[in-house]
Structure 1
C-alpha cells in the first residue's frame, strides 16, 4: 500500500513539474497572425536559452508595379538583417553579446567576404567581444524572392 502511494505521488509530482516547465517557456514578438514568433525563451535552470527566428533583410525598395523588391548589395542586406535581429531580440531583453550560436543562410549572389566584414563590426569588437559559434550555408533561394541573406541565433542569458 505504501508503494502505491509513493508511485502515485511521484506521477503527480512529475506532472506538476512538467506543467510548470511548460508554462515557463515564453513565445515573444512576431506578427500575431503569422505562423511563428520572433523569439522563444526556454529556461534551463540557471540561464534561459533564446531561440531567435531567422531574419531577412528589409527591401531597400519594396516591390511595385510588377517589379521585384530591391534588397541592396551584400553589405546593405547584412546590416538590414542585423537591425531586424536587434529589434526581435529587444523584445526578449537580449543582445548580440548573448548570442552563442548563429546559422547563416546565404543566397547564390551574396558576397561572403562583404557579409563577414559587417559581421565583424558586431561580434569580436572592443565594445562587444563575444563571438558565437557559427555555421554558414549557401542555399539556392530564401523564402523572400531575391533576398540573399537570412540569419538565426541561439542566445543564452
Structure 2
C-alpha cells in the first residue's frame, strides 16, 4: 500500500511540474498561420526559416525576386535565425539543435549543394568568436514549400541559467 501511495505522489508531482511549464508563442503577425518560435520553459523552438530575396521582385518592371544559390540562401536563413534569437535575448551560442532541409539546386543539375550550406554555417558556428557547434541533421528533400527555396533551417535554443 505504501508503494502505491509513493508511486501516486511521484506521478502527481511530476505531472504538476510539466503543467507549470510556461508556453509562449512568438507571432510575427495575427495573419500568419504559424508562430516564428515557441518558448516552452527555457527552450525556444524556432520554425524553419527560408531566405529573404537578394533582389526583390519588381512588378513594374516584370522581374521576379532573386534568392540566390544554396550558400546565399543559407546565409540569409542563418541571419534571420540570429535576428530571431536576438529578439528573444538569445544568440547562436544558445543553439543546441539544428535541422537543415536541402533541395537540389537546378543550377547544379538538381544535385544537393552541401558545401554551399557549410560555407555559410561555418561563419556562425565553430568560430573563434563563437565556438558552439550544435547537434545538427541535414536532409535532402524533393522540394520545399517555397518553389525557389533551396534551404530551410530550424533550430532549438536553450536559455542558460
Q: TM-score, normalised by structure 2?
A: 0.77
1:94-109 pair list within 5 angstroms: 94-109=90-105
CA shift, 1:98, in A, is: 0.3
Q: Would you say 1:120 and 2:118 are equivalent positions?
A: no
Deviations along 1:100-133, one digit per CA (max 9) or x if unpaired, are 0000001111521021021111001111001100
Which residue, out of 44, 47, 50, partners 2:44? 50
> Do the aligned partners of 2:27 and 2:34 also contact (CA within 8 Å) in 1?
no
Structure 1 equivalent of residue 24 of structure 2: 26
For structure 1, the 5+ residue unaligned runs are: 1-11
Distance 1:39 1:107, change over 3 A: same
Structure number with the higher helix fraction is 1
Two-structure CA RMSD over aligned residues (Å): 2.5
Question: For 1:121, what is the secondary structure of its paired residue?
Answer: coil
Q: How many residues align?
A: 143
For structure 2, the 5+ residue unaligned runs are: 1-11, 106-111
1:78-157 pair list within 5 angstroms: 78-109=74-105, 110-157=112-159
> Do the aligned partners of 2:99 and 2:137 also contact (CA within 8 Å) in 1?
yes
- Range with greater deviation from structure 2 (52-61 or 25-34): 25-34
- Range with greater deviation from structure 2 (71-80 or 145-154): 71-80
CA distance in 2 between partners of 1:114 and 1:18 (Å): 41
